[in-house]
Amino acid sequence: MKLPMTIHVGLKPIAASRPRVPRYGKPYFAKTYKRWRDAAHELVSEWSGVPIEEPVKVTVLFAIPRARTSKLVVPMGDGDNFEKALYDMLQRKRYLSDDKWITTATWRKRFLPFGAEGYAEITIEREEEDIDLTD
């Protein structure tokens, strides 16, 4: 695995939803999250190498377009839920074998000017510290 690597996801970031569990039937995700997940799956290429199985440090930038009438100072949504959506995508595309290998994570949420296209940028680097991940 050649690290560091940067992955650009050219979609407006969305927070991962929790599975909804109906009284009868099987659990499902909210439609907006499912649509984002499917679009990200199409947009980001599958990793052709061996999935990461070593401690890594991840830095994420969430660039979110500002709504025309927004008076907010920072974008809405919990950063950890935005992060979870990306980590799920990284596992699904075989960049990571499991997100347990992410030992250090930093994220930033920033507004883009109105009308700009949202995106997320993920940088994965080797963890410099010795981390014992034995179970």
Total of domains in the chain: 1
Q: 22-36 pLDDT, tens per residue?
A: 888 888 888 888 898
User: Is 131 domain-assigned?
Assistant: no
User: Is 134 domain-assigned?
Assistant: no
Domain holding 28, by residue range, is: 5-126
Is pLDDT above 80 for 56? yes
User: Is 13 domain-assigned?
Assistant: yes
User: Is 133 domain-assigned?
Assistant: no
Q: Which residues have a Cβ under 8 Å from the Cβ of 110 and sit 6 or more positions away?
A: 61, 62, 63, 64, 75
User: Is 132 domain-assigned?
Assistant: no
Task: List the CATH number of the domain containing 89.
Answer: 3.30.1330.70
pTM summary value = 0.78
User: Is 119 domain-assigned?
Assistant: yes
User: Is 96 domain-assigned?
Assistant: yes
Which pLDDT score is estimated for 112? Answer: 84
